[in-house]
Amino acid sequence: MEYRPVIGLEVHLQLKTASKIFCGCSTLFGASPNSQVCPVCLGLPGVLPVLNRQVFLYGVRVALGLQCKIQPTIVFHRKNYFYPDLPKGYQISQYDLPLGTGGHVVVPGTAAAPGTDFKVRIHRVHMEEDAGKLVHRPEEGYSLVDLNRAGVPLLEIVSEPDLESPEQAHEYLKTLKGILEYLEVSDCDMEKGSLRCDANISLSPASADRTAPPTGTKVEIKNLNSFKAVARSLAYEIKRQGRALDAGEKLMQETRLWDDVQGMTQGMRSKEFAHDYRYFPEPDLVPFAVPSEEIDRVGKGLPELPRQRAQRFVDQYKLPTADAVALTSSRSTADYYEACIRLLPKGKEASPCKAVANWLLGDLAREMNERNVDGIEGLKFPPGHLVELVDLIDSGKISGKMAKEVLTEALQSGQSPAAVVQAKGLSQVTDRESIRAAARKVLEEQPQAAADYKQGKGQSLMFLVGQLMRKTKGAANPGLAQEVLRELLENR
Amino acid sequence: MGISAKDVEYLAHLARIQLSPEELQRFSGQLDEILAYVEKLKKAKTEGAPPTSHVLPLTNVFREDKLQPSLSNEAALANAPSREGPYFKVPQIIDPTS
Alpha-helical (H) ranges within A211-263 are 227-246
pLDDT digits (tens, 9 = 90+) for A103-159: 999 998 777 777 789 999 999 999 999 999 999 898 899 999 999 999 999 999 999
pLDDT digits (tens, 9 = 90+) for A346-402: 766 567 888 899 999 999 989 888 887 777 888 889 999 999 999 888 877 787 888
Answer yes or no: do A120 and A28 share one domain. yes
pLDDT digits (tens, 9 = 90+) for A440-473: 888 888 888 888 888 888 888 888 888 888 877 7
Q: Given A244, A279, A298, which residue is the final one in a domain?
A: A298
What pLDDT score was predicted for residue A487? 85
Q: Name the residue facing A287 among B59, B93, B96 (closest C-beta).
A: B59
pLDDT digits (tens, 9 = 90+) for A313-323: 999 999 999 99
Q: Name the residue facing B93 among A83, A223, A288 (closest C-beta).
A: A83
Answer yes or no: do A325 and A456 share one domain. no
Q: Name the residue facing B77 among A34, A143, A290 (closest C-beta).
A: A34
What pLDDT score was predicted for residue A428? 66
CATH 3.40.50.2020 corresponds to the domain B5-42: no
Q: How far apart are CA A403 and CA A417, in angstroms?
A: 8
Question: Residue B96 — pLDDT band, cuts 50, 70, 90?
Answer: very low
Q: Which residues 60-119 in chain A show a CB within 8 A of chain B? A: 75, 80, 82-84, 97
Is residue A211 predicted with pLDDT exceeding 80?
yes
**Residue of A94, A62, A61 lying closest to A78 (CA atoms):** A94
What pLDDT score was predicted for residue A4? 94
List the single best residue of A40, A83, A143, A196 to mutate versus B (max B Cβ within 10 A).
Answer: A143
Average pLDDT over residues A196-208: 94
Give the closest-approach CA distance of B31 to chain A in angstroms. Answer: 16
Q: Which residues 19-48 in chain A show a CB within 8 A of chain B? A: 19, 23-26, 32-39, 42
Alpha carbon A75 to its chain's center: 32
Give the closest-approach CA distance of B9 to chain A in angstroms. Answer: 14
Tell me if B71 and A39 make a contact (CB, 8 A cut-off).
yes
User: Quick one: CA dihedral A352, A354, A360, A362, positive or negative?
Assistant: negative
What pLDDT score was predicted for residue A350? 63
ipTM at complex level: 0.87
Q: How far apart are CA A50 and CA A256, in angstroms?
A: 35
Q: Give the percent of chain A with pLDDT over 70.
A: 97
What pLDDT score was predicted for residue B94? 63
User: Which chain B positions have a beta carbon within 8 Å of A223's beta carbon?
Assistant: 96-97
User: Which chain B positions have a beta carbon within 8 Å of A135's beta carbon?
Assistant: 87
Is residue B95 predicted with pLDDT exceeding 80?
no
Q: How far apart are CA B73 and CA A37, in angstroms?
A: 8
Give the closest-approach CA distance of A145 to chain B in angstroms. Answer: 5
* 3-class DSSP assignment, residue B45: coil
User: Which chain B positions have a beta carbon within 8 Å of A96's beta carbon?
Assistant: none
pLDDT digits (tens, 9 = 90+) for B2-47: 788 899 998 898 888 999 999 999 999 999 999 999 999 999 998 8
CB of A342 within 8 Å of a chain B CB? The answer is: no
Give the closest-approach CA distance of A380 to chain B in angstroms. Answer: 34
User: Which chain A positions have a beta carbon within 8 Å of B73's beta carbon?
Assistant: 32-35
Tell me if B60 and A268 make a contact (CB, 8 A cut-off).
no
Most confident of A48-62, A281-295, B47-61, B83-97: A48-62
Answer yes or no: do A345 and A486 share one domain. no
| Chain A residue at shortest CA distance from B77 | A34
Q: Name the residue facing A283 among B54, B85, B97 (closest C-beta).
A: B54
| Chain A residue at shortest CA distance from B57 | A286
Question: Residue A484 — pLDDT band, cuts 50, 70, 90?
Answer: confident
Write the DSSP symbol of residue A391: H
Q: How far apart are CA B70 and CA A432, in angstroms?
A: 75
The residue that leads in pLDDT, B77 or A421, is B77
What pLDDT score was predicted for residue A226? 92
* Inter-residue contact A411 to A366 (CB < 8 Å): no
List the end-to-end C-alpha distance of chain B, in Å, as a whole number. 44
Answer yes or no: do A354 and A399 share one domain. yes
| Chain A residue at shortest CA distance from B94 | A270
Average pLDDT taken over every residue of chain B = 89
Answer yes or no: do A456 and A358 share one domain. no
Is residue A63 predicted with pLDDT exceeding 50?
yes
What pLDDT score was predicted for residue A39? 97
| Chain B residue at shortest CA distance from A73 | B59
Alpha carbon A270 to its chain's center: 35
What pLDDT score was predicted for residue A205? 92
Q: How far apart are CA A430 and CA A440, in angstroms?
A: 16
Q: Name the residue facing B93 among A84, A223, A283 (closest C-beta).
A: A84
Give the closest-approach CA distance of A213 to chain B in angstroms. Answer: 29
Angle between helical axes of A350-359 and A306-317 (0-180°, round to 10): 140
Name the least confident of A190-194, A303-307, B78-82. A190-194
Tell me if B68 and A18 make a contact (CB, 8 A cut-off).
no
CB of A145 within 8 Å of a chain B CB? The answer is: yes
* Count: domains in chain A: 3
User: Which chain B positions have a beta carbon within 8 Å of A36's beta carbon?
Assistant: 70
What pLDDT score was predicted for residue A7? 97
Is residue A270 predicted with pLDDT exceeding 60?
no
- Residue type, position A422, single letter: Q
Q: Name the residue facing A53 among B54, B64, B92 (closest C-beta).
A: B64
**Residue of A150, A182, A167, A127 lying closest to A12 (CA atoms):** A127
Q: Given A405, A424, A443, which residue is the final one in a domain?
A: A424
**Residue of A416, A140, A59 lying closest to B62 (CA atoms):** A59
Give the closest-approach CA distance of B26 to chain A in angstroms. Answer: 22
Average pLDDT taken over every residue of chain A = 90
Q: Name the residue facing B70 among A37, A97, A138 (closest C-beta).
A: A37
Q: Given A261, A281, A298, which residue is the final one in a domain?
A: A298
* Inter-residue contact A101 to A156 (CB < 8 Å): no
* 3-class DSSP assignment, residue A2: coil
Q: Name the residue facing B71 among A37, A51, A278 (closest C-beta).
A: A37
Q: How far apart are CA A369 and CA A366, in angstroms?
A: 5
Is residue A196 predicted with pLDDT exceeding 70?
yes
Count of A-B CB contacts under 8 Å: 142
Within 13 Å, how many C-alpha atoms sit on residue B38's CB side? 8
Answer yes or no: do A29 and A131 share one domain. yes
Tell me if A19 and B66 make a contact (CB, 8 A cut-off).
yes
Alpha-helical (H) ranges within A46-190 are 53-65, 166-183
The residue that leads in pLDDT, A252 or A237, is A237
Is residue A2 predicted with pLDDT exceeding 60?
yes
What pLDDT score was predicted for residue A375? 77
The residue that leads in pLDDT, A350 or B59, is B59
* Residue ranges making up the domain that contains A173: 3-298
User: Which chain B positions have a beta carbon within 8 Å of A80's beta carbon?
Assistant: 14
